[in-house]
Structure 1
Amino acid sequence: MDATERSELVRSQLMYDASRKSAGIAYVLWFFLGWLGGHRFYLGRTGTAVAQLLLSIVGWLTLVFIVGIFMLAGVGIWLLVDAFLIPGMIREHNMKLASDLTGGPVRLEV
């Protein structure tokens, strides 16, 4: 491995370390800002994060009309499911990041 390859490898590793997602941060966001889609924004899932945010806001605004209860219940169930999906979302994000940085598929070795 020559100096250029080593430099590129170090640069890729630094980029990966700076951009990878953390399970701890994702779960803190899920716990405190889950109903606003905070954990999904963090994980780059903007579309579903906006859906959670809008469902929560509309649910709270229409709570008086009973329909809001169903929206908030739906968001609550979604958040419960997300608690189990977060590790997979993090793994998927980090594997895609590693693949993008190395220019090819990355194998996960255990």
Structure 2
Amino acid sequence: MSDQFFRPSSDVQVMMAYDAGKKSTGTAFLLWFFLGGLGGHRFYLGQTGPAIGMIVLNVLGWLTLIFIVGFFLLGALGIWLLVDAFLISGWVQKHNSDLAIRLGMAAGAPAAAPVPPVVPAAAPGEV
């Protein structure tokens, strides 16, 4: 028997690599809800720098809570978490589309051509 029966095609390999590397919006939101103050959702999405910043803000907030400064630090962290809740879906979508483009180019597919901007047509009688 030859190897062609046991080796998946390049399309199947790309699809398997995509499924292995894609991120889930549900997982990101669960991490945000339970580990958001520690940047769990950002670590999951590959945003290590801001995740470490969230940990530092969290720890400093709790350590300085007795000096009243901690209330402001933890308040800033809370606002940051609230903003992240609205941005997570876009981050996951961007990660997954970037992954698909990278895998498509690695498989030899041409890169997608940029979409030209839509220019509204002039109304009748306008010049």
Same fold (TM over 0.5): yes
Q: What is the SS of the residue equivalent to 2:9? A: helix
Q: Name the counterpart of 1:74.
A: 76
* Structure 1 unpaired stretches of 5+: none
Q: Name the counterpart of 1:32.
A: 34
For residues 62 and 112 of structure 2, the distance between their equivalents in structure 1, rounded to whole angstroms, comes to: 44
What does the per-residue CA deviation read over 1:10-52, in whole Å, with 9 as the maximum and x for residues that have no partner? 1010011011000110010000000000000000011111111
Matches within 5 A, 1:13-92: 13-92=15-94
Higher helix share: 1
Tell me the TM-score normalised to structure 2 length: 0.76
Runs of 4 or more above 6 Å deviation: none
Q: CA RMSD in A?
A: 1.8
Tell me the TM-score normalised to structure 1 length: 0.88
- CA change 1:105–1:72 in 2 (3 A) is farther
Aligned residues: 103
Task: Quote the sequence identity (%).
Answer: 54
Q: Name the counterpart of 2:117.
A: none
For residues 12 and 106 of structure 1, the distance between their equivalents in structure 2, rounded to whole angstroms, comes to: 20
